[in-house]
Structure 1
Amino acid sequence: PGRDAVASGNRLYDEGRFEEAHEQYLEALREAPDSPIAPFNDGNALYRTDEFQRAMEAYQQAAESGDPTVDARAWYNLGNALYNQQQLDPAVNAYKEALRRNPADADAKHNLEVAFEQLQEQQQEQQNQDQESEQDENSDDQQDGDGQQDESSEPEQPNDQKEPDDQSTPQPDQEDQPQEQPEPGGEPQPQPGELSREEAERLLQAINEDPGEIQRQRRTTAPVRPPRRPW
């Protein structure tokens, strides 16, 4: 049940008719509510129409299938949707889940590093802003308490803030080319540059124990890699 609707949705998806593909995937879900393929593909169709919140809900449903291959791909695409919405912390967690289920996924590793580096920069920027705000408040209190200050003296000017590094914000590629995908339940196809399980575990451990290591390894931010296509 639902296979014909999924196949029809895939044809529409490949033609760029994403809203119509979405309707077919919904029909497949009505026919086979427990199928993980229909919500995964529906998430992709919604992603392409910038319906990121609804896409995330579809990916979350697909990620609960219990099939490691489907789950890994759903977590990966969920990470991309979260990243696109600048929800960096949950995006990092989604890429981690994808790697735990498929340690050989080099794209998940790449995107995890990109999202994590940006999250660290975002947190550092917020910390700097909080410190500047606190300094401004202390300065205002000091000026209010100094009634004898020479009115003719010029107040000190704040230090110029440094401009952030000019880095383009990476966005998931919306025009990835079709590629063969593994059948649900099968082993992921090996890809050039894939990770071993040990490498993936070391990466996850490094992020948990020494967040600065990722930034030391990556000095430039590269675009995140595209979402997985429908089955």
Structure 2
Amino acid sequence: MSAKSPQSTSQLVHYLLLVSPFFLVGWIGGWSQAIKRGNEHYKAEAYDAALEAYQSAAEDRPEDTISRYNLGTALYEKKQFEKASDEFRRSLDTANPVHQAQGYYNLGNAQVQLNDIEGAIRSYKSALRLNPADLDAKHNLELALEKLEQKSQQNHPESGDEGKDQQEQDQQQQNQDRENRDEQEPNQQDQKSPSESEQQQQNQESSEQEAASEESSPQSEQESTHQPVEMSEEDAIRLLEAVKDNETEIQKKILQKRFSRRQRSEKDW
């Protein structure tokens, strides 16, 4: 990308030559002679001589936009892009929209050389707003937009193929982690945690205590039967009378048995 290739740039400078006689009508002096001399050297591609002539014209009339524009084209051909862009900016201070559009176009080319792609895009758009029919500005704008996209992809590789590769690696890692978890789950089910083991130990001890309690309960009941029973005096008297009555009844039964035996024995005789 060049500032209107030598042929195109020559056409721009030649356009300025076409208007130069207009200035010469009312002004004949060092400035006009320097512009004419610089244009002749530029057409011959003698850029060092052209640069010297345009600098002389700019010194003679520092605010003249034509001198600044032509000086910028010579600096561009000398690959002094930073200085060229400064001169193109100075040339924009003109009331002529055609000259201003040409200044924006060449400023955009210098910005591309300085790798200021975003600035170049703005300059090309400004040139097209002033001159929508400028096909060179439209073409260079498209190239600048493509270059900006390439630069963005280089700064953010995730959005390109490298980003897809990274996504595939992440997916593979997730699958591997899932497989590892699936393999670990059966082992975790077989292995009991310390809390589960402690709970089982407590349950076993509780069962043993219950069994021991059941075995010891009859003995406790048996021991309780041998313990003395407390009773009142009235209960004791009644118990004694009952015992006496019981003994009397028993004695009666014994006497009856003896008497009946004697009768049977006497009868047998």
- Normalising by structure 2, we get a TM-score of 0.47
SS in 1 for 2:156: helix
Structure 1: stretches of 5+ with no match in the other structure? 140-231
Q: Percent identity over the alignment?
A: 36
Q: Is 1:35–2:73 an aligned residue pair?
A: no
Output the amino acid matched with 2:155: Q
Q: Is 1:54–2:106 an aligned residue pair?
A: no
Q: CA deviation at 1:34?
A: 2.3
SS in 2 for 1:16: coil
- In the alignment, is the contact (CA less than 8 A) between 2:118 and 2:148 conserved in 1? yes
* Cα deviation 1:90-116 (Å, max 9, x = unaligned): 111110111111111111111101101
The whole-number CA distance in structure 2 between the counterparts of 1:130 and 1:70 is 41
2:38 equivalent among 9, 22, 26: 9
Question: What is residue 212 of structure 1 aligned with on the other side?
Answer: none
Q: Is 1:100–2:129 an aligned residue pair?
A: yes
The whole-number CA distance in structure 1 between the counterparts of 2:118 and 2:110 is 12
1:117 equivalent among 136, 142, 146: 146
> Structure 1 residues 5, 120: closer, same or farther in 2, change over 3 A?
same
The whole-number CA distance in structure 1 between the counterparts of 2:35 and 2:148 is 36
Structure 1 stretches of 4+ with a deviation exceeding 6 A read 129-133
- In the alignment, is the contact (CA less than 8 A) between 2:124 and 2:141 conserved in 1? yes
Structure 2: stretches of 5+ with no match in the other structure? 1-26, 171-269
Question: What is residue 157 of structure 2 aligned with on the other side?
Answer: 128
Question: What is residue 20 of structure 1 aligned with on the other side?
Answer: 49
> Structure 1 residues 66, 50: closer, same or farther in 2, change over 3 A?
same
The whole-number CA distance in structure 2 between the counterparts of 1:8 and 1:30 is 15
* Cα deviation 1:16-67 (Å, max 9, x = unaligned): 2212211111111122222211111111100111100000001010012232
Output the amino acid matched with 1:36: T
Q: Which has the larger radius of gyration?
A: 2
2:105 equivalent among 70, 73, 76: 76
Output the amino acid matched with 1:102: N
Output the amino acid matched with 1:33: P
Higher RCO (C-alpha 8 Å, min separation 6): 1
- Normalising by structure 1, we get a TM-score of 0.54
- Return 87-96 or 28-37, whichever deviates more: 28-37
Higher helix proportion (structure 1 or 2): 2
Over aligned residue pairs, what C-alpha RMSD do you find? 2.6
Question: What is residue 169 of structure 1 aligned with on the other side?
Answer: none
Question: What is residue 63 of structure 1 aligned with on the other side?
Answer: 92
Q: CA deviation at 1:76?
A: 0.2
The whole-number CA distance in structure 1 between the counterparts of 2:158 and 2:60 is 52
* Residue pairs, 1:142-181, within 5 angstroms: none
The whole-number CA distance in structure 1 between the counterparts of 2:95 and 2:149 is 32
Q: CA deviation at 1:129?
A: 6.4
